[in-house]
Structure 1
Amino acid sequence: MLALRFYAPEDVRLVDVPEPICGPAEIKIKVKNCSTCGTDVKIKKNGHVNITRETTLGHEVAGEVVEVGADAIGDFAVGDRVQCIAAVPCGDCYECGKGWMEVCQNQTSVGYQYDGGFAEYMIVPAQVLKVDGLNKIPDNVGYDEASAAEPFACAINAQEQLGIEEGDFTVVFGAGPIGCMHIRIARGVHKVGTVVLVDVNAERLAMSAEAVSPDHVINAADVDVVAKVMELTGGRGADVIITATPANITQEQAIAMAARNGRISLFGGLPKNDPTITCDSNVVHYRQLHIHGANGSSPAHNKRALEYISTGQVPVKDLITRHVPLSEVMSAFDIVADGEAIKVTVEP
């Protein structure tokens, strides 16, 4: 079968490999869609600390069950349409016991320690089944939409922490797929008020704005974004700010533009070689700001994402703007890197 294999940074190849064998505690799926994200591009370029061997990439996976091991946990049968979690908690550590599975200290991941979904077939590991991480896809949800449930789940996790209130003035940095999903969730679930989308790429801003219709669009390459938000709020600042981009300056701007009792999600991780920002602690102190990290998602967040998609509360179909066959998977990395689409999905 065809699979996109990682060998080393800048050495990623689409190769013919043997079809995987399903173990007694595992489930084998025929991959229908594996969507892409910026993390895939970073792995291709720089590798990842958790990828220590040759592996098949791809972690936003949906497919059809073709084999169920005799000892596999769960109620699954051949023909079931399923979506798989990406971040896999251990289920046994202190954090998992507290219900904080998204920050499990023993977390493993599909497409890292386990072969992922840029392939014709994938094995769902026993550990995924142990933590209830394989989800049946609702009948009215397509495989492409289901594959987008994983990043959607990460956005749900971040927004849950923010105590968002109806009518909150909300700023989202980053006009990529995650930024668009954040806007859809903020409106569809939390009923926020005015929404502002910020980016430095005019074409990407225009493309995403057409899809999710923010109330205001700010090109931060041309405009002082903090001053503009202060102008839009009558000097009060934004209630909720989500930095869905790996840029240091956006986190600094988020603190500067936050209203009193403002809530900030540092959603996008920063480069490992430049992970620090300058923070005016007195601004945090006197405005009583709440700054939250956001790390991935739990199995429960994935289930909630599928539910929101199924009910239409948070649609994602129109955000998937490019479908690429597995034979052309390398082009998907270029499309993502160049910001030519909102969401790109690969179809074996």
Structure 2
Amino acid sequence: MLGCVIHGRGDLRVEELASPAPGPGEVLVAIRYGGVCGSDLHYWRHGGVGDFRLTEPMVLGHEVVGTVVAHGSAGPPGLRPGTAVAVHPATPCGVCPECADGRRNVCRDTRYLGSAARTPHVQGGFAAEIVVPAEQVRALPPGLDPRRAALAEPLSVALHAVRRAGPVAGRHVLVTGAGPIGCLVVAAAKAAGAARVTVTDLLPAALGYARTAGADTVVRADEPGDPGWPAEVDVAVEASGVAAGLDTCLRLVRRGGVVVQLGMLPPGQSPFAGNLVVSREIELRGAFRFDAEFDDALALLAAESAFDGLVSAVVPVREAESAFALAADRGRSCKVLLDFGG
């Protein structure tokens, strides 16, 4: 079977891999679509994500949907062979203090598909077939197209970030960065009842996708005279992963407001306007991955067809490198999917 394996910076290969077999409590899934994530691009372009560096070849991918092929033992109800499913990419340890506290998304010993956070690395989902624990497999809601369902993982990230912000109903939310995650934060904020969502980015094409996701106002980040800039907002979500985005959030959020840092900043120290956190009593919160939001994401995707507009291209897996290049060009794409079907 074919799989996308990263060997180092700039070294992405589509290789023949051995087909896996499910053991007890596991499910064999034939992958149909896999979404190219920003972290996949970081492994490809830089050989790592933040402080997580590649030390061995690794199958990429964690945004995957497909069809159940077989079980290692008696299958769970609702997951018979042929069932269309999405795969939750995280396997928390279940015993650490964070898991015990209900914060499994920050489990100190988790396994996450396609991650170099531990060695041996956790192999990812960009393969024609993968084996995963049965509890990580979710049957798609009736009527949900697998192509749209491929957005479940990044939408879960966005839902978690909005929940970290606290109640947003009736409030003005600022989102810095209109990449795929930023656009999905827009959709998540609107679904949570935000009265207004303003989005900033440098690229007109990205701001167009933010409009598709439901943004009320879009602003060019490099145009300080843009009339769309708000005087202040109630909540800000930093989704660009650059220090300038965090600075914008801290300067525009109201006194006593909340800023959620969602974008992964470059490794090492990042400057930020810390005095504003003090003098305005701003609450600065981190948001990392997700947990139970995965099921909510699938339900939201099933209910809203507008998400289809965020899938900008579907590329055969044999052309993976061109798919990665397209996904890295935010002037031409939003979410790019690899197609493992056929």
TM-score, length-scaled by structure 1? 0.89
Per-residue deviation, 1:161: 1.5
Q: How many Å separate the matches in 2 of 1:248 and 1:240?
A: 17
Q: Matches of 1:139 and 1:346 in 2, distance apart?
A: 23
Shift in Å, 1:315: 4.5
Instruction: Report whether the alignment pairs 1:278 with 2:272.
Output: yes
Instruction: Pick closer, same or farther for the CA change 1:209–1:150 going to 2, 3 Å.
Output: closer
Counterpart in the other structure of 1:336: 327
Instruction: Report if the CA contact (8 A) 1:242-1:264 is conserved.
Output: yes
User: What is the distance in 2 between the residues matched to 1:25 and 1:209?
Assistant: 40
Residue 114 of structure 1: aligned partner: 122
Secondary structure of 1:328's match? helix
> 1:30-76 CA deviation, whole Å, 9 max, x = no partner?
10111111111101122333654322111101010111001776753
Residue type of the alignment partner of 2:139 = K
Flag structure 1 segments of 5+ consecutive residues without an equivalent: none
* Matches of 1:53 and 1:88, distance apart in 2: 21
Change over 3 Å in CA distance of 1:52–1:75 after alignment to 2: farther
CA shift for structure 1 position 346: 0.9
Tell me which amino acid in the other structure corresponds to 1:121.
E
1:203 is paired with a residue whose SS is: helix
Q: What whole-Å deviation, never above 9, does each CA across 1:68-111 have from its counterpart, x for those lacking one?
A: 00177675321111111123211121111111011101011112
Equivalent position of 2:309 in the other structure = 318
Partner of 2:46: 46
Flag the 1:204–1:75 CA change in 2: closer, same or farther, 3 A.
closer
SS of 2:20's partner is: coil
Task: Report if aligned partners of 2:157, 2:288 keep a CA contact under 8 Å in 1.
Answer: yes
* More off after superposition, 239-248 vs 314-323: 314-323
Can you give the 5+ residue segments of structure 2 that lack an aligned partner in the other structure? 116-120
Preserved contact between residue 190 and residue 214 of structure 2 (Cα < 8 Å): no
Count residues with an aligned counterpart: 331
Hey, what's the Cα distance between the residues in 2 that align with 1:11 and 1:267?
Answer: 28
Q: For 2:173 and 2:271, how far apart are their aligned partners in 1?
A: 22
Alignment partners' CA distance in 1, 2:10 and 2:203: 25
Match of 1:296 among 286, 289, 293: 289
Q: Which amino acid aligns with 2:34?
A: C
Verify: 1:260 aligned to 2:255, yes or no. Answer: yes
> Is the alpha carbon distance of 1:78 and 1:114 closer, same or farther for their aligned partners in structure 2, counting shifts above 3 Å?
farther
Which residue identity lines up with residue 37 of structure 2 in the other structure?
A: C
CA deviation vs aligned residue, 1:130-178 (integer Å, no higher than 9, x gap) = xx32111112111122221001111111111212332211111111111
Residue number in structure 1 paired with 2:29? 29
Tell me the alpha carbon deviations over residues 261-288 of structure 1, each in whole angstroms, 9 at most, x when there is no partner: 2111111010114x4122232x223322
Q: Retained in 2: the 8 A contact 1:35–1:144?
A: no
Return the letter of the residue paired with 2:61: G
Q: Is the 8 A contact 2:217 2:228 kept in 1?
A: no
Q: Say yes or no: does 1:152 pair with 2:155.
A: yes
TM-score by length of 2: 0.90
| C-alpha distance in 1 between matches for 2:122 and 2:75 | 17
Is residue 87–residue 296 contact of structure 1 (8 Å, CA) maintained in 2?
no
- Measure, in 2, the Cα distance between the counterparts of 1:183 and 1:202: 16
Give the match for residue 201 of structure 1: 203
> After alignment, is 9-18 or 262-271 more displaced?
9-18
The 1:29–1:149 alpha-carbon spacing in structure 2 relative to 1, beyond 3 Å, is same
What does residue 118 of structure 2 align with? Answer: none
Cα distance in 1, alignment partners of residues 237 and 212 from structure 2: 19
CA contact (8 A) 1:24 1:72 kept: no
Matches within 5 A, 1:133-282: 133-188=136-191, 190-205=192-207, 207-223=208-224, 229=229, 232-233=230-231, 237-273=232-268, 275-281=269-275
Range with greater deviation from structure 2 (140-149 or 44-53):
44-53
User: Distance in 2 between the 1:139 and 1:174 partners?
Assistant: 32
Aligned-partner residue type, residue 333 of structure 2: A
Identical aligned pairs, as a percentage?
A: 27
CA distance in structure 1 between the partners assigned to 2:54 and 2:143 by the alignment:
35
Question: Are the structure 2 counterparts of residues 271 and 149 from structure 1 closer, same or farther at C-alpha, using a change threshold of 3 Å?
Answer: same
95-104 or 21-30, which deviates more:
21-30
What is the alpha-carbon root mean square deviation over aligned residues? 2.1
Give the 4+ runs in structure 1 shifted more than 4 A: 71-75
User: In the aligned structure 2, how far is the partner of 1:197 from the partner of 1:331?
Assistant: 28
Query: What is the rounded CA distance, in whole Å, between the counterparts of 1:272 and 1:72 in structure 2?
Result: 43
Whether the aligned pair in 2 keeps the contact of 1:332 and 1:344 (CA below 8 Å) is yes
